[in-house]
Amino acid sequence: MIGIIFGPPGSGKGTQAAHLEQELHLKHLSTGDILRAEVAAGTPIGKRVQRIMAAGDLVPDDLIVDIVRRRLPEAEEGPGVLLDGFPRTETQARALDSMLAGEGHAVTFVLALVVPEDVLVQRILHRAAVEGRADDTRQAISERMHEYHKLTEAVLEHYRKQGVRVMVIDGVGSPEDVFERIHARFAARSTPRVDGSKPRASA
Ligand code: B4P
């Protein structure tokens, strides 16, 4: 099972991915977390992307595709993978499709979180006050939203056209409320668990 958790900045991708990792036993692969770890460790990749991320821009496709290409085989050794923050452009989506096809795999589902922009901005500014992430400034948030509309939204259409199951979820409310909706959607469609059993009745 290869799932993608998709949504604009601040929509709760990382938050919900942590729940889903436990619920579906998927390996969570967050490109944002990987890049932040590279920056914190001061690696050559980290030095290359630090300013780009802080400005709210997307890092180059070739760099991120290379990172995923190196990490995916290990993640695929488990029962499934949940990609968070990747793919973010059509070029990345095509690269992912061909990487997976090489292993005889394909994207199984896309979970798209929908949240109005004013709520997104409030959430990110709240995180800025708590965590002080370098890209949680008003200017970087505005750039991240711009990049999302310009480049990332098209990824959803890319998978819709392929007939991949796209589940659109209302991402407003507490993280628990949102997870309940996700869980209900999986249960309603009786998505088989990776071990062949049905999902549990409650989260
Ligand atoms: P990400 O780490 O993916 O950043 P994000 O879009 O803000 O998502 P994140 O997971 O952190 O936030 P979430 O919505 O869970 O990427 C960061 C940067 O890395 C990008 O801007 C780019 O520069 C680079 N990058 C990463 N992947 C890339 C790629 N593939 N290609 C190119 N560049 C790439 O949560 C946000 C906040 O809301 C949190 O504080 C959370 O606690 C809160 N929250 C979540 N759910 C909530 C809820 N229901 N109610 C209230 N608050 C909630």
- How many A from CA of 201 to the centre of ligand 1? 29
Which helix (H) or strand (E) segment holds residue 5: the answer is strand 2-6
Q: Is residue 203 exposed (0-12), middle (13-18) or buried (19+ Cβ within 10 Å)?
A: middle
Q: pLDDT at position 187, please?
A: 85
pLDDT tens readout for residues 168-196:
999 999 999 999 999 999 888 754 444 44
CA distance linking residue 198 with residue 192, whole number of Å: 5
Ligand 1 atom closest to the CA of 33, numbered from 1: 2
- CB distance 100 to 158 below 8 Å: no
Query: How far, in Å, CA of 40 to CA of 125, rounded?
Result: 21
What's the 14 CA to ligand 1 centre distance in angstroms? Answer: 6
Q: Are 8 and 115 in contact (CB under 8 A)?
A: yes
Each residue of 10-42: pLDDT tens digit?
999 999 999 999 888 899 999 999 999 999 999
Would you call 49 exposed, middle or buried from its count of C-beta atoms within 10 A (0-12, 13-18, 19+)?
Answer: buried
- Out of 6, 11, 38, 120, mutate this one to test ligand 1's pocket (max ligand atoms within 8 Å of CB): namely 11
Q: What is the mean pLDDT of the chain?
A: 92
**What pLDDT sits at residue 76?**
84
pLDDT by residue (tens digit) across 61-72? Answer: 999 999 999 999
Q: What is the pLDDT of residues 76-95, one digit of tens each?
A: 888 899 999 999 999 999 99
Q: Which of 34, 45, 58 to mutate to test the pocket of ligand 1 (most atoms within 8 A of CB)?
A: 58
- The answer on pLDDT for 199 being more than 50 is no
